[in-house]
Structures are given as structure tokens and as C-alpha cells.
Amino acid sequence: MTDLDTRLLAAHDVDDRQLLIALYSEAADCANDADACGFYLTHAYVYALEAGDPQAASLCARLVAMGREVDPYASTTI
């Protein structure tokens, strides 16, 4: 298990949403292929979306650019 995996599990254990956003973003940046990147980005995005975190917009934009998401910000605020 990598150090990042360990930190992710620890963040899940304490349900630290801000840390989860950061760690899943980090995992996406470290991913070796597009599918893995999209997987981790999705998790970072969903936790940001739920929290109303401003990072949600940029995370969403990355997924949209990868053809993996549609932009919910296009119409109104959530």
C-alpha cells in the first residue's frame, strides 16, 4: 500500500472531506492513465460538490475537458 493510499484511508476513517478533496486530487495528478485520473478526479469533484467547495468548479472543468462530465454550473448555482 502506498503512502497516498494510507493517507486516503485515514482521511476516510475520520471523514475529513477537505482532506479527501485534496488527496483525491493528488491521486489524480499522480495517476498513470486517463481512466485512473478520471476516477480520482471524480471523487475529488463529488466531495467538493457536496461541500460547496469552490474547487468543485475547476475539478469539474478538468473532467469536462476529459469528456467525462458535463458542467452543472452552466445554468445556475447548485
Partner 1 sequence: MDHTVTDLSTVRRPIEEANGLPNAHYTNAAVFDEEKHALLFANWSGLTVAAEVPEPGDAVPITFLGMPLLVIRDRSNTVRVFQNICRHRGMILVEERRKIEGAIRCPYHSWCYGTDGRLVSTPHVGGPGQNTHEGIDRALLGLIEVRSHIWLDVVWINVSGDAPAFEVANAKLLERWSEFDKPLYHGGVQSSFTLEVNCNWKLAVENYCESYHLPWVHPGLNSYSRLEDHYHIEEPDLFSGQGTLVYRQIKGHDEQVFPDFADLAEKWDTAAEYITAFPNVLLGVHRDHTFAIILQPQGPEKTLEHVHLYYAAPNTSEDLRARNAAQWKTVFAEDVFVVEGMQRGRHAVSFDGGRFSPAMDGPTHLFHSWVAGRLAAARVASQAAE
Task: Give residues in contact with partner 1 (CB under 8 A).
Answer: 34-43, 45-46, 48-53, 56, 63, 68-70, 72, 76-78
What is the rounded CA–CA span in Å between residue 7 and residue 52?
A: 23
Cα–Cα distances (Å) from 35 to 23, 42, 50, 68, in that order, read: 17, 10, 23, 10
> Which residue in the block uniquely carries the three cell numbers 471524480?
42
Least distance to partner 1, CB of residue 65, Å = 13
Query: To the nearest whole angstrom, how small is the minimum distance from the Cβ of residue 2 to partner 1?
Result: 19
For the bound state, the minimum distance from the C-beta of residue 41 to partner 1, rounded and expressed in Å, comes to 7
29 vs 50, beta carbon nearer partner 1:
50
